[in-house]
């Protein structure tokens, strides 16, 4: 089954929606509407301070806590999965036991609907503002610690950044294993081994060609760990701009802050992917164009889509969800 999820602007102002966009309506009400339209999941991302490239803009961007936002969405929904894409775990390592308690509480109170997508954070200035360094090591320790807290009666962990002893944390999450997805846009052996060892899912920003190269390697390392590929949820976080013509869809996409966002991630050693290439591997165009784009990812092993709709006004988000649900989703029923 193909799974489609909707990204809401917990921290997306300045990315695929303008500053001043986020509100209760564009998050909580959007989550309720997404469930009514049959979407599988709702996703919120994570920022702690305003990134440098946004500091000259007005109105000022608002970044909402993703877990509290998902708790609010859970109160008006019953089935839709509540996901973080992504949650910057290194920022929580100084208080990982408290973080684990929050995650377990949300999973229990939502009826076992939480998906935790974790990553190291894309913007160096955010971690520097918190005096957080060595994010990759912190993330690894954080995930190991969460597993112990969620699965052991008495939990002890002694790492470089994470330390606790004889913690009996209750309640435990309802889901066993608790689903942790890795949000990294690389397909190195280190990343694939991490997924095979720790993960229930992977959220990379790869092209179909890159997935076609990476998935066979992932299957092999999973076999070495005694696991099956079917256990791993492959999620493509992807931009969506749908219109009656491709030119109109491109214009809609260009009216968002997407170009400024991509430029901010493409300076010096931080260069990820060019804007033109990102447009090419996004879902931009007519419904037929988007259907072909979705199929190109399904053909190489993607199972789940986190849709970042190109929007400039709050009402546009509901409209975009409705059109996608009506014009695209039935082709994959």
Q: How confident is the model over 283-323, as pLDDT tens digits?
A: 999 999 999 999 999 999 999 999 999 998 999 999 999 99
Phi, psi (rounded to 5 degrees) for 243: -155, 175
Residue 276 has pLDDT above 70, yes or no: no
The rounded distance, in Å, linking the Cα atoms of 52 and 278 is: 22
Per the rule left: phi > 0, alpha: psi between -120 and 50, beta: everything else, 14 is: left
Residue with tokens 């489609």: 4
CA atoms of 172 and 152, how far apart (whole Å): 9
| Helix, strand counts (H, E) of the chain | 13, 11
CA 60 from centre of chain: 23
Lowest mean pLDDT among 28-32, 123-127, 170-174, 198-202: 123-127
> Token digits for 276?
């033109």
pLDDT of residue 97: 98
Integer angstrom CA distances of residue 77 from 72, 88, 278, 323: 9, 25, 33, 21
C-alpha 135/C-alpha 178 separation (Å) is 22
Reported confidence tier of residue 17, pLDDT bands at 50, 70, 90: confident
Domain residue ranges in the chain? 3-332
- What CATH number should be reported for the domain whose range is 3-332? 3.20.20.30
- pLDDT tens digits for 59-107? 888 999 999 999 999 999 999 999 999 999 999 999 999 999 999 999 9
Is the separation of the CB atoms in 258 and 16 below 8 Å? yes
Structure tokens at 318: 């509901």
Please check the confidence at residue 52 and state whether its pLDDT lies above 80: yes
Helix axes 189-198, 135-151, angle to 10 degrees: 10
pLDDT digits (tens, 9 = 90+) for 220-271: 999 999 999 999 999 999 999 999 999 999 888 888 877 766 666 665 555 5
């Amino acid at each position: 089954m193909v799974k489609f999820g909707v990204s809401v602007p917990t921290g997306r102002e300045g990315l695929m929606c303008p500053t001043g966009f986020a509100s209760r309506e564009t998050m909580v009400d959007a989550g309720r509407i997404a469930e009514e339209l049959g979407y599988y999941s709702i996703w919120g991302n994570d920022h702690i301070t305003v990134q440098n490239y946004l500091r000259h803009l007005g109105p000022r961007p608002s970044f909402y806590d993703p877990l509290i936002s998902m708790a609010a969405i859970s109160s008006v929904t019953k089935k839709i999965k509540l996901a973080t894409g992504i949650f910057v775990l290194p920022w929580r390592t100084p208080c990982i036991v408290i973080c684990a308690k929050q995650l377990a509480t949300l999973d229990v109170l939502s009826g076992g609907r939480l998906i935790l997508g974790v990553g190291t954070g894309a913007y160096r200035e955010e971690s520097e503002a918190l005096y957080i360094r060595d994010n990759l090591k912190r993330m690894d320790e954080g995930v190991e610690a969460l597993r112990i807290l969620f699965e052991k009666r008495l939990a002890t962990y002694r790492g470089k950044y994470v330390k606790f002893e004889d913690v009996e944390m209750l309640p435990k999450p309802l889901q066993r294993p608790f689903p942790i997805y890795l949000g990294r846009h690389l397909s190195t052996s280190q990343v694939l081994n991490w997924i095979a060892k720790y993960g229930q899912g992977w959220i990379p920003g790869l092209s179909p060609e890159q997935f076609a190269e990476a998935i066979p390697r992932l299957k092999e390392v999973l076999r070495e760990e005694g696991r099956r590929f079917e256990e791993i949820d492959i999620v493509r976080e992807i931009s969506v701009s749908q219109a009656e013509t491709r030119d109109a869809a491109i214009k809609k996409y260009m009216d968002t802050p997407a170009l400024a966002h991509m430029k901010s991630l493409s300076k010096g050693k931080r260069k990820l992917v060019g804007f033109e290439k990102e447009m090419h591997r996004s879902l931009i165009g007519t419904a037929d164009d988007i259907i072909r784009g979705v199929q190109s990812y399904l053909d190489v092993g993607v199972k789940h889509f986190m849709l970042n709709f190109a929007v400039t006004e709050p009402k546009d988000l509901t409209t975009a969800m409705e059109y996608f649900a009506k014009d695209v989703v039935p082709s994959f029923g």
